[in-house]
Amino acid sequence: MRIAILSDIHGNCVALDAVLADIESGVDCSVDEYWILGDMASAGAQPLEVMERLNGLANARYVRGNSERYLLTGERPLATPIAEMTDWSLVPGCVDVCESFAWTAGALAAGGYLPFVQDIPLEQRLTLPDSSSVLLVHASPGRDDGDGFVPVYSDEEMSGRLDGCDADLLCVGHTHWPQNFHLDGVQIVNPGSVGVPLIPSLRATYAVLEADRSGYRVEHRAVAYDLKLAQEKAWEMRHPQAEFIVSFLRGERVRNWGEPDVLR
């Protein structure tokens, strides 16, 4: 069996379409199942188009990201209430965040997708043909937010984030950085981000898991897409945070860690 693992689409349907086209481009890329690791619609100009594409996928499994929780609960990734009361320089940023999530929540409500989002679980557990156990989650076991797993952290720092994992393979997103490494007997795979990649090439990234009774292997893939068209969509849709969205698409927020080893 072959599984496509996607995460952090963030309302960028131009990038998602490029990834789906890559998956469907031939026998070597066709898949039997999709694992979607959260942050699907928020902070992007095409939330409805993204949800339509995802709902059209056969045999898809989903876990929620922190942005799905924000859409449903009204929570926001803001500064602490005390800071908001004492540091007025934080207010414009807080307003921007609130506007962006309100815009997406309104779009999904109009499209009838909020009940679907409501039913997405925090985690999913399953077993591969070789009996390897798998945990799907957005950030880390038991969490859809937090620091997650990134190259700048030591093994000691990241070990504590494996509490409650109890799986051979952990599939996570959240950091927008493709990874594939072992820690404390667990293989940790992050497919990176489809819609808001933070890698120098700005390519949309995902992973393919191939599994049978003899074992499994993971291949990371990176797909170039029309960044200019994605930028145009942000302005065309009059997203309240179009400039913020476009700043990622122009490469202004790339991490300085170099191109990930898994893509070389």
Taking the C-alpha atoms of residue 250 and residue 228, their distance in angstroms, rounded to an integer, is 9
How large is the average pLDDT for residues 193-206? 97
Q: In which band, very low, low, confident or very high, does the pLDDT at 51 lie, cut at 50, 70 and 90? A: very high
Host domain of residue 193 = 2-263
Contact 248, 196 (CB under 8 A): yes
pLDDT bucket at 128, cuts 50 / 70 / 90: very high
Are 204 and 217 a contacting pair, CB within 8 Å? Answer: no
pLDDT at 82: 47
Statement: residue 113 has pLDDT above 90: yes
Please tell me the predicted confidence (pLDDT) of residue 80: 46
| % of residues, the chain, pLDDT over 70 | 91
Q: How confident is the model at residue 26 (pLDDT cuts 50, 70, 90)?
A: low
Count of the separate structural domains present in the chain: 1
117-130: average pLDDT: 98
Chain-wide mean pLDDT for the chain?
A: 92
87 or 159, which is more confident:
159
CB 179 within 8 A of CB 262: yes
Residue 125, beta-bridge partner list: 135
Tell me the average pLDDT across 203-215. Answer: 97
DSSP 143: B
CA 169 – CA 167 distance, rounded (Å): 6
When mean pLDDT is compared across 91-100, 184-193, 195-204, 230-239, the lowest value belongs to 91-100
Higher per-residue confidence, 222 vs 30:
222
Lowest mean pLDDT among 64-68, 73-77, 175-179, 182-186: 73-77
CATH number at residue 58: 3.60.21.10
Q: What is the mean pLDDT of residues 178-197?
A: 97
* Residue 58 burial by Cβ neighbours in a 10 Å radius (0-12, 13-18, 19+): exposed
